[in-house]
Structures are given as structure tokens and as C-alpha cells.
Structure 1
């Protein structure tokens, strides 16, 4: 049976990203705002079979500009495989599933491509088997990666904890995003080490107050530049000053807001008008940058 189910696995940008402190489990507590954008991989569940001799998941990398990023990746390290295995950890019978992926989101770029693929696979596998319990999907997503739960909800969310405590927020904005990723690889683990956060507990009421302030700011677009930050910009820009220059160029080109997404290395600019976004992208392309264009999905 071919193409049982398919779905878009959308990318995200971080509008705000604070790393609060280190946890006893060696993860970090975050306070972040993430928003889906209309740049996506396409994931298909090609076939599945119940009652197999053993549990099996395979992923065929069909095509896409960044399919080469996954070539040679061991199956057990693929987040799609890990996500589906987490979903069926206690399933009573072996299953065999075959996925295919068209990879359009660059890997290791701060855009959440691998996490989105995993969330999409969890959703498709659950639909195929008839699992509708969101808590079960969320548990599998949390076990797979810190950003994966966000992609189950989608839209625009503020996230706490490792990223698994989510609140979806409806806003009236729909902006245009230009992203630049020139292939600089940023080690997320190294970026966290550079921040050197300690284990000091931050009072919950302090986090709650900051969360309220961030939510309030979402409707005050003119304040984003002054209030929204990404803690990773400091250490990453120190290593790669050309990324800081890109951020400055976005403002020179008319963006009302610019930030690095995740731990990098994608830097993006937001524009009110499509025409201005496309004009900025053409300027950046002429300077030799690898650019992407998308719309924000904030509703």
C-alpha cells in the first residue's frame, strides 16, 4: 500500500530565546517563543504492517535540496525513527512502517527541521494506528527532543521547561520572513557550554511574570526589537561575526525585526510587506548568501 498518509513538517523561527539555568538532568530551562513558518519538509507514510516478525521503521530520503544532509545518518539517530519508536514503546504487537521524506529545511540550522519531521512522523503513525490521545503523543515527542512537542501544537507558542511546557497564543500578525543560512554548522552542545549557565533555581513567580511580559509584547510589534532576544547570539556572534553583520544588514534592508533562530546559524528578518521581503532577499542573494522566503503561521 503506497502513500497512506502525508503531511507538511514545517520549520520554525524563535522570536525570543532565553536560557534560564541548567537542570539536574543536564538539560536547560528555557523561556522561548516559537512560530511556525511556511517552509517545510514533506513526509509520507508509504506503508505499514501489523503483526510483523519484529518492530521496524525505515525512512527513504526521496529528494529535496537538503536530502544530502541525511545521507549516511544511522537509522537509530534519525529523529523520525526515534519519535515513532517512542510512540510505540509499549505497543502490544510489532509494527513495520516505511516513511519517505522530501528534505527542504537545512539541518542543524536552528529551524527545527529534524524535530518537525519527528513530530510529523508521530502524528502520521498515530493516525494510521488510530491513536488519538494527545498526552501519549506529547509524551513520545518530549522523549524524542526538546523542540518536538512544539511541532505537535504548531502555530505560535510560548514554551517553558525544556520546551515541552507550551501555551499556544493567537495573534493577528502575518509577516514575511527572509532567512539566510550559509552552511555554518553550530554545535548546539557547544553553544550551551559557551553560555555557562549554573544550577541556580529561578523563582517560578519570576518566570511567570516574564512570561506575561513576553505575551503582552507580542501585540506590540514595534517593541520586539527592544525586548525579544536570543541568548545564543552573544557566544555565536563572537565566533562568527559575519552572522552579526547579517543581522545588521536585515535592518538596513528594512526589516522591522531580526534575530538568529535557535542556536544558529540561521539569521532572519521580518517584514510587513511581501514586496519588501523579496527585495531584501534579492539584495542578500546578490551578495552570495543562501536565502529562504516564507510566511509566518501565527494563527
Structure 2
């Protein structure tokens, strides 16, 4: 994977960055290690339903959240993942470089990924913030950005790069996956939330001695062939049973999607959002209309993947 960006000089002009949301096309979960983290073998796919951040130097350190989900409970303080990402980068660079341009930046987040739904919206904000901050200081080496991303959250590293990739460990050990064509998804969101920690704890209760986390070969073959039907036969999410035990309506929505013709209902991350795989754009539109009228579905959003990772779109 190549570095998200590398520039030659610092700039104090605002920089606008876009970063994708994601779905876990497959999520294999193994046992927890001594630190409490589960060994994962997941296939990430970046989606074109993403976030846009504008980093404005010379501000007051404010965080402004707007957009479709701007009224959600997104923190506007030091706990915001975009702010944390900038702070982590400052700490990584300040010994050797002048990073004063990053200390007072305002961050404007155009929130277009549903909040707390397993689609990586907060991680996308962090990835975008890292890329924007790297631009402002004249470029940062890929390994430094990767380490900063992992320090903020395991999904952040993938969203720096986008595309489709296998994630191992906590998801931060990435290997690109050959993917042909475009995959069409309908993301059915819920008005409810599922804390990730609780879902993993329930997984441990249900599977006290889990086997190894694996990615089936058929998943990779289906992606390489651009074959949604084969993908639907082989992809799964090991956390589904645990999530359903908290929110039984997840199973009901999955069944409704199958009845409406979806090739595959797939819990996104630890949920509660469900991704429904469609054959093509027309099929996705039909699914979205039917799912929008389904009890337990808050919104039915069409998305496609793979999408590019975090990248600068404007810097004047």
C-alpha cells in the first residue's frame, strides 16, 4: 500500500479531506488475548458513503459537527476521534518537526455516515484528520501515519487506504485484496445502538472456546471475480448471534431483507447496521425502497464499494 499523501511544504490554507465508511464483508472472531482484544480475520470494504472534514489552521481548536448526522451525539471535545488523531500525530512528530500549525486548527466534520452503527464513521473522521494534518505539515511517512491510526483505533488504519483488504490482529494488520468490479450494498440502520464491548462480551459467553478466526477462500475468490452470488454463499459475521441476543429485531430485519430479494444480509461490524448485498444498482434501489418500509429499519442507504481511502480533495 502506498502513502496516502506526501507534499513538499507546509501550508496554512484550509484543507478538505474525504474518507470512506466501511462494511466488514466477512468478520471472523477468535479468542481474546491477555489485553482483552479478540483475534480477528476480517475483510474490510470501503464504501462511497463517507465523511468530509475541513481542517482550518489559525482557529481556536473548535470542533464543528454538521451534515446529515450532525445532530447526533458526536463529541465536540478532546474525545472526538478526529481531534484525538491530530493530537496523536502531534505527539509523534513534535520532537523532530515544527507542528505548531496543528495546535490551533478548527475541525469541521460533515457527518454523512450513521453514528454508532458499525460503519466506521468515527474512524473515517480520524483517518481524514490524519491525512489533512499530514498535508498541513508538508507530508508524513506512511509508517508514521499507520502507527498513529492504530493508536486511535484499529479500523482507522484501513480507512487511510480504503479499497478492500484483509485485517488481522485487531484489524490493523492489513493485506490488500484483489477485487473486480463494484459491489452494491443497502445499509439498513437502526434507531437503537449496540455497544461494541457488550457484543464482544456476549460473544465470549456464547463461545467460551472459539476456534481460530479465518477468512474463507471462497470470499476472496468471489471478490476477485466480482461475483456477488458466490460472495453471498461464503461471507459471514461471527458476531451476529451475539448482536441478535441484544436486539432480536436484527434477525427480523435480516429475514425481511432476504424475503425482499437480498443476496446476503450481513451485520456491519458489531452492528446494529445491516448491509444487504444486491446484484446491481437497480436491485439495490428496489431493496432500499422495500427495506425503508420495514419495521426496525431507521434508514435504508445505498452504497457501493470498494471506495478510495482518505484523500485531500481541496487545499487552497
TM category (shorter chain) comes to: 0.7 to 0.9
Query: Structure 2: which 5+ runs fail to align?
Result: 1-10, 309-316
Report the Cα offset of residue 199 of structure 1. Answer: 9.7
Q: Taking structure 2 as the reference length, what is the TM-score of the superposition?
A: 0.83
Of 182, 188, 194, the residue aligned with 1:180 is: 188
- 2:33 matched to which residue of 1? 23
- 2:117 matched to which residue of 1? 109
Report the Cα offset of residue 200 of structure 1. Answer: 7.8
Higher relative contact order at CA 8 Å, sep ≥6: structure 1 or structure 2? Answer: 2
- 2:81 matched to which residue of 1? 79
How many residues end up aligned between the 2 structures?
287
- 2:291 matched to which residue of 1? 284
- 1:216 matched to which residue of 2? 221
Superposition pairs of residues 117-196 of structure 1, within 5 angstroms: 117-196=125-204
DSSP-derived class of the 1:269 partner: strand
Report the Cα offset of residue 210 of structure 1. Answer: 4.7
C-alpha separation in 2, matches of 1:156 and 1:10? 12
C-alpha separation in 1, matches of 2:222 and 2:282? 26
C-alpha separation in 2, matches of 1:111 and 1:32? 14
Q: What are the superposed Cα offsets for residues 100-130 of structure 1, whole Å, 9 maximum, x if unpaired?
A: 0111111110000000110110011001101
Q: CA distance change for structure 1 residues 245 and 199 in 2, over 3 Å: closer, same or farther?
A: closer
Aligned residues of 1:34 and 1:157 also touching (Cα < 8 A): yes
Query: Structure 1: which 5+ runs fail to align?
Result: 50-55
Moved over 3 A (4+): 197-202, 209-214
- 1:255 matched to which residue of 2? 262
Q: Taking structure 1 as the reference length, what is the TM-score of the superposition?
A: 0.87
C-alpha separation in 1, matches of 2:292 and 2:87? 41
- 1:231 matched to which residue of 2? 238
